[in-house]
Structure 1
Amino acid sequence: MIENLRDHTAERQLLAIALHGRTDELLALAPGAFSHWQHAAIAMAITGLAQRGMPTDPPIVMREVVNAAGGDARAQTMGKLVADLATHLVPGESAGYYVERISALHTARELALAMERFQGKVAYAAENDDDEVLAGAANEAREAIGAAEVAFRPVAAEPPMSLGSLLDEEDDPYDWLVPGLLERTDRLILTGFEGTGKSFLLAQFALCVAAGLHPFTGDPLPEREYRTLVFDCENSKRQMKRRYRRIAAQVDALRRKHDMGPVDWHRAVRIVSRPEGVALTEPRELARIEQNVSLSAPDLVVAGPLYKMSKLDVKDEQAAKELTDTLDLLRVRHQFTLIAEAHAGHSNDGGGARRVRPIGSSLFLRWPEFGFGIAPHRDCATEEHPSMVEVKHWRGSRDERAWPQVLRHGAHLPWEPTGDYFQMLAERGVA
């Protein structure tokens, strides 16, 4: 039972945050809160350094834990762990969540151990007819339960905000990933009919954003480092290699056109290939995937298809909710924009045209901020792989964004918008 009351991923995430300079939350934890001995040793080193007023930079922490471990293989293992954690880029804002998670599990473990001791003493007292041991066991159990009740007592809610206070605040600026198109932490589901080139469009998004280029115009984004994580639950590595090799070459050519340096594809894009699908709602699988996210520190995650990210039937509302809740947990905790792939159904609308709405629960229609689908353009209806597609809204967007209405096979990217898109961008003043 106690083995289930541990979250090693949460412990690693908090240590990574502390190694990047934010130590207040770590220092607030009770002794013994870390369940893994290696994590506890690193936490002790950071705490000791901070209490002595010394820096807690990774090299200094590494020296502390290596010296404490001695000169054997154990020291080498500890040094490697500190080095690995130092490469994790975890948002500092997540520290509070990890502290609450680690503290709650620590309290639960302490209570579980107290109950185990209680059971042992009760058995002993019954066998030996020892009322004194029984009374002592009951007192210890009450104290342990009381401590747990205090720890898990709900925190008093803050008074609700008044409308006047809300209106007095300045409007928050957009936190753009792609100006006018995608904001950080946006959720978008993209659907498409078979053979319409949806996989190429998703790959185009992944590589263009990672290369600092607008995924439709190919123009440079604000200059900084961008990272993308592709979580592919459908295509084989062979299929991905062919697709990504072609698009990477096009993206590199666009960067040369704009006098930009080459992309480090080893660093800018990471790929998790799971064509057999995953069970994202299962704790062990989620821990593995979150580790991938933490190591990649992505600005954008391109994932899907949705129905292969859960072993449950996502036509069921509860199963779909568990999946979307898990994706939201990762998205908010790691502050990335999410583009999720979904397959379109085969039902028709009132006019006899096939809908581009995603298969699965109706929850998928309500969950994302944006829902788009691509369907063959009416001028390409007879083409097996249409050279032009319509971009259809199947969900009323929560904000106005600059999405093209038509895409066509392009010279510089697999899919490029028609001329009216550039006119729209100019009218909206989107750079």
Structure 2
Amino acid sequence: MTYMPPHDIDAEMIALGSMLLSEHAAPQVASIVTAGDFFRPAHELLFHAIQRVRAEHGHANVPLLHDHLSKDGNDIAGVDLVYLFKLVEAVPTSANGPYFARKIRGLSVRRRVIATCTTVAQKAHLLPDEDPADAIAGLAQKAIDEFEAVRDYESGDNLETMTVDEFLAVPDEDYDWIVPGLLERGDRLMLTGAEGLGKSTLLRQLAITIAAGIHPFKHEHIDPKRVLIVDAENSDTQMRRKLRPLHAQARLQGRPIAENNLWIEPKLGALDLRQDKTVSWLLKRINLIKPDVLVIGPLYKLTPKALQTDDDTAPILAVLDMIRDKGICLLMEAHAGHALGAGGKRDYRPRGSASLMGWPEFGYGVRPADVEVEEGKRLVELTPWRGDRDERDWPDMLQSGGRWPWSIGFPGGVQPGNPYARSA
């Protein structure tokens, strides 16, 4: 007998149909469920598509959604105009959309509870007698927490407003560091700068050192993390040439990269995050690899359309934030504009929509330092083009050369006797 995980296809159809029928129900449903809560894969993709249409037009209906799905690359297997009308016809009243959304969410969490409990049981059977059971206890607690989530969603008791005293009485969470003092889980970093200054090299250095368990600038040992690089600008051959010496350097420092800690997806000219098919491809890779860090970009290569307005940018940032909500740290390169700012210096804010300014936690421009350095060396400044959302240890300057392409730099060169420490 084949076991089927808990699900309700009719509820999924009603929730999606409600989003197409009512501008009021659509945001309510979207606030309760995510695409990953749908059991039928086509419904997960449809939810993505409806959100894209809403972002573009302010609302979604059958004609707009059908037009969207008819565009090259947006089609969903088994979904045609007839199926879209079936979704609408399945809705008794759009006011019930949130009710069915909560049901979908509850079933989704229940499936995760079952999967977690199954994993706990399997690992408990395999655990040697002499091994500590901390990991198993942690998995069991996760199952209990997710069961509580099911109960809360089904009872509607999960929405509680706190007084200021209750809010402040909750202890602060410890930092969940990717790189201690530098990058936390869920952080978003965007690097800009003129062409040829080494932005891409710096991001590759971050990726390699984090995967190897090396602090990117201090070169101390840290806990290695899993990294996925999605490069939309370089070919396979170019990526190999650029990564091979960095990969070898990690080994020379006694920190060889574990095979499953660094994953590469060269996608030269093949990314368009406005297309549901591309989003589905990317989310499948992320769900399979489960990276702690995603290095993706450059930004202008994530869609063939220039990101000039907030409407252009919104669907791209929505996808990236969906990934970030999984606890993934996002690192990205973007091109700076050519305008001059205060003092006649180049403005290093990202080129395009002003919404890009507010997106990352950390935004830095790589610019040549106004000091002379020895021949064959480069000294650049990391110039913030937005205020950091938290206090971190990003260096003010970087100097080329040394064991890694970039090391902490100082006016006049690297500080003698202590090449990775900041000057007093």
| TM bucket normalised to smaller | 0.5 to 0.7
Letter matched to residue 233 of structure 1:
A
Amino acid aligned to 2:278:
E
Amino acid at match of 2:214: L
Secondary structure at the aligned position of 1:145 is classed as: coil
Count matched residues.
308
Kindly tell me: are residues 214 and 351 of structure 1, through their superposed partners in 2, closer, same or farther at Cα, counting changes over 3 Å? same
Query: Is the Cα–Cα contact under 8 Å of residues 376 and 386 in structure 1 kept in the other structure?
Result: no
Query: Cα 1:146–1:393, aligned 2, differ >3 Å: closer, same or farther?
Result: same
Match of 1:169 in 2: 170
Question: What are the residue-to-residue correspondences of 1:30-429 with 2, within 5 Å?
Answer: 30=8, 97=34, 100-102=37-39, 105=43, 144-146=90-92, 150-153=96-99, 158-222=159-223, 225-254=224-253, 256=254, 260=255, 262-264=256-258, 266-333=259-326, 335-380=327-372, 387-418=378-409, 419=415, 423=421
Alpha carbons 1:29, 1:99 under 8 Å: kept: no
Q: Name the CA shift for 1:421/1:249 in 2 (closer, same or farther; >3 Å).
A: closer
Q: Secondary structure at the match of 2:278?
A: helix
Q: 1:397 and 1:217 mapped to 2: Cα distance?
A: 21
Contact map agreement 1:234 1:275 (CA 8 A) in 2? yes
- CA RMSD in angstroms comes to 3.6
- Is the 8 Å Cα contact of residues 178 and 225 (structure 2) preserved in structure 1? no
Task: Note the residue ranges of structure 2 that are not aligned, 5 or more in a row.
Answer: 14-31, 48-78, 103-155, 410-414
Q: TM-score with structure 1 length normalisation? A: 0.63
The 1:115/1:272 distance shift into structure 2, 3 A limit, reads closer
In structure 2, relative to structure 1, the CA distance for the partners of 1:329 and 1:251 (3 Å cut) is: same
Q: Indicate how the Cα distance of structure 1 residues 362 and 148 shifts in structure 2: closer, same or farther if over 3 A, else same.
A: closer
Q: Do the aligned residues in 2 keep the contact of 1:281 with 1:323 (CA within 8 Å)? A: yes
The alignment partner of 1:399 has SS state of coil
CA distance in 1, matches of 2:324, 2:287: 11
Q: Is the 8 A contact 2:380 2:399 kept in 1?
A: yes
CA distance 1:397–1:283, shift in 2 (3 Å)? same
Q: Which has the larger radius of gyration?
A: 1
Q: What do the CA deviations read for 1:67-92 (whole angstroms, capped 9, x no partner)?
A: xxxxxxxxxxxxxxxxxxxxxxxxxx
Distance of 1:242 and 1:408 partners within structure 2: 22
- Would you tell me which structure has more helix in proportion to its own residues? 1
Contact 2:193–2:348 at 8 Å: present in 1 too?
Answer: yes
1:293 is displaced (CA, Å) by 1.6
Given that residues 342 and 358 in structure 1 are in contact (C-alpha distance below 8 angstroms), is that contact kept between their aligned partners in structure 2?
A: yes
Cα 1:302–1:148, aligned 2, differ >3 Å: closer, same or farther?
same
Question: Structure 1 pair 98/309, CA: closer, same or farther in 2 (3 Å)?
Answer: closer
Q: Structure 2 length as normaliser, TM-score?
A: 0.64
Describe the shift of the 1:318–1:417 C-alpha distance in structure 2 as closer, same or farther (beyond 3 A): same
Provide the C-alpha distance between the structure 1 equivalents of 2:419 and 2:160, rounded to a whole number of angstroms. Answer: 46
Matched residue type, 2:364: F
Equivalent residue of 2:325, what SS?
A: helix
Distance apart, 1:313 and its partner CA? 2.2
Cα distance, 1:300 vs. partner? 0.8
| Conservation of the 8 A alpha-carbon contact between 1:234 and 1:277 | no
Counterparts of 1:354 and 1:145, CA distance in 2: 55
Partner of 2:135: none
Does the CA contact (< 8 Å) of 2:12 and 2:38 recur in 1? no
Q: Which runs of 5+ in 1 are unaligned?
A: 1-22, 36-94, 119-140
CA–CA distance in structure 1, aligned partners of residues 404 and 374 of structure 2: 23
Mapped contact 1:345–1:356 kept (Cα < 8 A)? yes
Secondary structure of the residue aligned to 1:202 is: helix
CA distance in 1, matches of 2:303, 2:87: 39
Matched position secondary structure for 1:146 = coil
Distance 1:145 1:393, change over 3 A: closer
The one-character-per-residue Cα deviations of 1:274-294 (angstroms, maximum 9, x if unpaired) are 221511121111101111222
